[in-house]
Amino acid sequence: MKILTALLLLILAATLAKTLLMSFRAQSPEDYAGTSPAFSLKEHLSGSFASEGLIYGPKGRVTNSFVAEMVGTWDGDTGTLTEKFTYSNGREQNRKWFLKLGEGNTFTATAEDIVGEAKGVVSGSTVSMQYQIVLPPEAGGHTLTATDWLYLTQDGVIMNKSEMRKFGLKVAELIATMRPVSGGQP
């Protein structure tokens, strides 16, 4: 029995180590310091964007997809990012992020469906942000802990990967692109 218990503890420790050291959650802003192109919230989240994305459920399968129109504007150190989503299941959603630059490379963000403030860091070609999001009632109304990473590519496209957790367990994942659209509306 002691051997079985020790084996189970070893498996649990190895799984935890893999999750914390060799996964999406293991990356940190310091991993991307000095990478280029340098991400500037004011520069790269300004203007119009077209976005496409996939949402994966807890079993790793695509559960929904979306297209979105986004518009970012700035006034000094305060910005807004307005998002209009259309999902493959026919649902539409609007969100407006209110961004505020902070000390160093930090920022905060709020939105109607966010609990409190999102906290973010810009590092090299990346942005990371952590927050709690409340799902709409038709999606269960759950409050999830989200981790977002935005990666700026050489041609100005932003790749977004997000992971949502409930009670520490991954329940959803999102992968999306944000492409700048010249000349106004996407």
- Kindly tell me if the per-residue pLDDT of 53 is higher than 70: yes
The β-bridge relationship of strands 169-181 and 106-110 is unpaired
Name the residue range of residue 62's domain: 29-181
Residue 13 confidence class, pLDDT cut points 50, 70, 90: low
The verdict on residue 5 lying in a domain is: no
8 A C-beta contact, residue 174 and residue 56: yes
CATH number at residue 152: 2.40.128.20
Q: How far apart are CA 9 and CA 109, in angstroms?
A: 40
The structure's pTM equals: 0.84
Q: What angle do CA 32, 38, 40 make, to 5 degrees?
A: 115
Residue with structure tokens 């992020």? 97
> Which helix (H) or strand (E) covers residue 49, if one does?
strand 47-56
Q: pLDDT tens, 145-164?
A: 999 999 999 999 999 999 99
Closest CA to 141 of 176, 115, 111, 175: 115
The verdict on residue 24 lying in a domain is: no
The verdict on residue 144 lying in a domain is: yes
Written as six digits, the tokens of 121 are: 């860091």
Residue 45 confidence class, pLDDT cut points 50, 70, 90: very high
Residue 47 confidence class, pLDDT cut points 50, 70, 90: very high
Q: In the 8-state DSSP scheme, what is residue 13?
A: H
The verdict on residue 16 lying in a domain is: no
The verdict on residue 186 lying in a domain is: no
3-class secondary-structure state, position 60? coil
The pLDDT of 82-89, averaged and rounded, is 96
Q: How many domains does the chain have?
A: 1
DSSP string, 86-133: EETTS-EEEEEEEEEE-STTEEEEE-TTEEEEEEEEEETTEEEEEEEE
